[in-house]
Structure 1
Amino acid sequence: MRVEAAVLYEPGRPSPYAESKPLVIEEVELDAPGPGEVLVEVVSAGLCHSDLSAINGSMYAQLPDPIILGHEASGIIKEVGPGVKDMQVDDHVVFSFVPMCGHCQYCAIGRPVLCKHGNRANAHGTLISGGRRFHTLTGREIAYFTGTSAFAHFTVVAQESLIVVDRKLPLDKAALFGCALITGVGAVMNTARVAPGEPVAIFGLGGVGLSTIMGAKLVGASPIIAIDMLPSKFELARRLGADHTIAAGEGDPVARIRELTNGGVEYAFDVVGNTNVLAQAFKATRPGGKTIAIGIPPTDKFLSTHAAALVLQEKVIQGSFMGSAIPRRDIHRLTHLYMAGKLPLDELLSPAITLAEINTGFDRLAQGQVIRQLLHFV
């Protein structure tokens, strides 16, 4: 079948993207689902900094091309291939940007976001089976992004990349559970395991950073300190649970954090993906504290910090990929919390866009003008 999609042929084109148009809107061919695969009509897809990093070339040094981006999405199953289990036509689904094989060493110990086979497929731009289902009209294969490629009206994905959700959940908003919420809330609940009353600092107030604040509020962290370069984000951060806000460009945020917490926070979350910010987060923790790295820095960057503090102060630096989640468990937990009124997801939503506006949407994201834009197909 032919579907409309946003195809990236050339990473690294200069901004503004509304002029350079790195994402080409065109019709592509989409094969029918193979064994264990599912055809999904995409209802909504989020514009995330991970997609932006692919567009500007900062994070993915050897991205296969052409490629269809889009990893945070929701949709409706339209067709199932042979051997698909526990899914059927008309089911509502949220995408997981790491397909989970269920039997590798990492899946077996309850760490499916590190799935050996899923991450290998993502690195090669394929489904977990090794296949590709998108082609240009001239027959050229189009690579997958995280096994999802949701910047297309329809996509074929592996069943291992989908989570069936309650049909009462507003599907146009459900996309956010697949990245922003599971990453931010998961970093608090799964990676750090913050306890009530423990002080936390969140560096970076995009969609994931604000979700991290939601998670910290949910578990009773106190105080919650939010840091960003843009003070325009502070009002929303306070509504979501921040007790204090610090403008990173005005003075020394580490000194201010230590002042507010009598020596530093128990947990500092770097949601920026900048090694200088990660170093600041490390300095902002008290002895015995833990720094959680959520944002992904460019692949050519290295962290420099005081190594002795790891021993003499028993400090810890730990990564958190996809919120250290078990997606089939955690997406259901988060959607139930949302429907119970305990996760104010709607606060993250910026005005929705159409596929024709996607390059302009990434300009807005790069300039910090928006939190989470959703691309609506339906």
Structure 2
Amino acid sequence: MPSSELVMDNKNASSTAGKIIRCRAAISRIPGKPLVMEEIEVDPPKAGEVRIKILCTSLCHSDVTFWRSTQPPMAVFPRILGHEAVGVVESVGGGVEEVREGDLVLPVFQGDCGECRDCKSPKSNICSKFVNKDNQSMPRDGTNRFRDLKGEVIHNVLNVSSFTEYTVVDVTHVVKITPDIPLDIACLLSCGVSTGLGAAWKVAEVEEGSTVAIFGLGAVGLSVAEGARIRGATRIIGVDLNPEKFETGKKFGITDFINPATCGDKTVSQVSL
């Protein structure tokens, strides 16, 4: 079903607003051990929060890092991982005007209040008004919206927690998007695509006519290529051990490809020349 139809369907489904929702979630209980599918309870959103029905989510390596962690502050269990996702607003808490029921949204791990000095500055995107230092609870009051059926609190990760049918996210971590974007692509925008695009655009500040080398052509690497292309790079070199990625890379402006396994004793820079 197209995302636009899913959004329209949800506009007539507001019977759960203000109520606890029981749903399924993949819970990480022990570091490095398989996630466990369980029924959980998800509280209604409080003031400034949004409850979202997750439609599509993907796996970022940062989730794997949290999953493997055995030392504080990252090792907090049980918790619901996942932060690359797209979903439909099921209900909103008091004071939320930015989105409403039925809107298609991206939950994003980096908040933006739009009011503080850092959010207004083009030099930073680290919100200083709503600072979530522990990455395991809601940023405004430090509490959680998830419980298992025994009443045990289940912790958040990166302000999103998308490995669940429903999640609650602060409105400063929500971006409304057009329903025309395919869901499997939209879910990558909140982390992988923005990370790669930002690396080329904001960090490297690729200049027109540049030659750019990208190591690894996954979602982030391809997004770096797209960012470099938009910035005017004339030669974009993709470096990856998987030759199947090279054909895909052409669609993102990659002009040359290097498989390190075939380089012999030469360095990548020698091959690219």
TM-score range, shorter chain: 0.7 to 0.9
Which residue of 2 is the match for residue 125 of structure 1? 136
Q: Output aligned runs, 1:203-214, within 5 Å.
A: 203-214=215-226
| Contact 2:216 2:240 survives alignment (8 Å) | yes
Q: Residues of 2 paired with 1:246 and 1:54: CA distance?
A: 32
Call closer, same or farther: CA 1:254–1:223 in 2, change over 3 Å: farther
AA of the residue aligned to 2:60: C
Indicate the RMSD between aligned Cα atoms, in angstroms.
2.4
Q: Output aligned runs, 1:50-129, within 5 Å.
A: 50-57=62-69, 62-111=74-123, 113-116=125-128, 118=130, 120-121=131-132, 123-129=134-140
Structure 1: segments with no counterpart, 5+ residues: 14-21, 262-378
Q: Output aligned runs, 1:1-378, within 5 Å.
A: 1-13=21-33, 22-57=34-69, 62-111=74-123, 113-116=125-128, 118=130, 120-121=131-132, 123-129=134-140, 130-251=142-263, 255-258=267-270, 260-261=272-273
| Contact 1:122 1:145 survives alignment (8 Å) | no
| Contact 1:64 1:124 survives alignment (8 Å) | no
Call closer, same or farther: CA 1:58–1:112 in 2, change over 3 Å: farther
Tell me how far 1:104 sits from its aligned partner. 4.1
AA of the residue aligned to 2:55: V
Higher helix share: 1
TM-score relative to the length of structure 1? 0.61
AA of the residue aligned to 1:39: R
AA of the residue aligned to 1:127: M
- The sequence identity of aligned pairs, in percent, is 35
Tell me how far 1:111 sits from its aligned partner. 4.8
1:133-183 per-position Cα deviation (integer Å, ceiling 9, x unaligned): 001111111111111101111111110110011233334431111112111
Q: Residues of 2 paired with 1:7 and 1:232: CA distance?
A: 33
Which residue of 2 is the match for residue 273 of structure 1? none
1:207-252 per-position Cα deviation (integer Å, ceiling 9, x unaligned): 1111111222233312111112333322322343222222234447
| Contact 2:260 2:268 survives alignment (8 Å) | no
Tell me how far 1:185 sits from its aligned partner. 1.4
Structure 1 residue matching 2:106: 3-state secondary structure: strand
| Contact 2:31 2:70 survives alignment (8 Å) | no
Call closer, same or farther: CA 1:83–1:216 in 2, change over 3 Å: same
Q: Residues of 2 paired with 1:226 and 1:162: CA distance?
A: 33
Tell me how far 1:260 sits from its aligned partner. 3.1
Call closer, same or farther: CA 1:253–1:236 in 2, change over 3 Å: farther
1:43-63 per-position Cα deviation (integer Å, ceiling 9, x unaligned): 111112111222233998633
Q: Residues of 2 paired with 1:110 and 1:66: CA distance?
A: 37
Number of positions where the alignment pairs a residue of Structure 1 with one of Structure 2: 252
Which residue of 2 is the match for residue 297 of structure 1? none
AA of the residue aligned to 1:197: G
Call closer, same or farther: CA 1:248–1:58 in 2, change over 3 Å: farther
| Contact 2:41 2:146 survives alignment (8 Å) | yes
Q: Residues of 1 paired with 2:27 and 2:193: CA distance?
A: 26
Structure 2 residue matching 1:183: 3-state secondary structure: helix
AA of the residue aligned to 1:236: T
